Amino acid sequence: METRVALIGILIDDSDAVEKVNQILHLSSRWIVGRMGIPYHARNVNIISVVVDAPQDEISRMSGLIGKLSGVTAKIAYAKLPSHEA
């Protein structure tokens, strides 16, 4: 199965959505290389950067589920690396 390295950037404006985002990330934990969360209190937003090495379908699924949550935005940036067999 071919995998790609990507960064999923997540912005959470609604604190009620934090637990739901973490649940989705937990379900996809096998693909996560690392993550960093920053609570930006001055602007009342939580910022999460998630690095994944996963099949493109899985990356899209994860980002899509997160992005559908109310008060949450998710975007993907793919590394310009060749695909890798997992």
User: For position 51, what pLDDT does the model report?
Assistant: 99
pLDDT band at 13, cuts 50/70/90? very high
- Structural tokens at position 57: 């379908």
When divided into structural domains, the chain yields a total of 1
Residue 12 has what pLDDT?
A: 98
- Rg of the Cα trace of the chain? 13
Each residue of 30-82: pLDDT tens digit?
Answer: 999 999 999 999 999 999 999 999 999 999 999 999 999 999 999 999 999 87
Q: In this predicted structure, what is the pLDDT of residue 76? A: 99
Predicted model pTM? 0.91
- Which domain does 19 fall in, by range? 2-85
Residue-level pLDDT at 44:
96
Q: For residue 39, what pLDDT is reported? A: 96
Give me the helices (H) in the chain, please: 18-27, 56-67
CATH number at 13 reads 3.30.70.1150
pLDDT at 31: 98
Cα separation values, 49 from 1, 19, 86, Å:
24, 16, 22
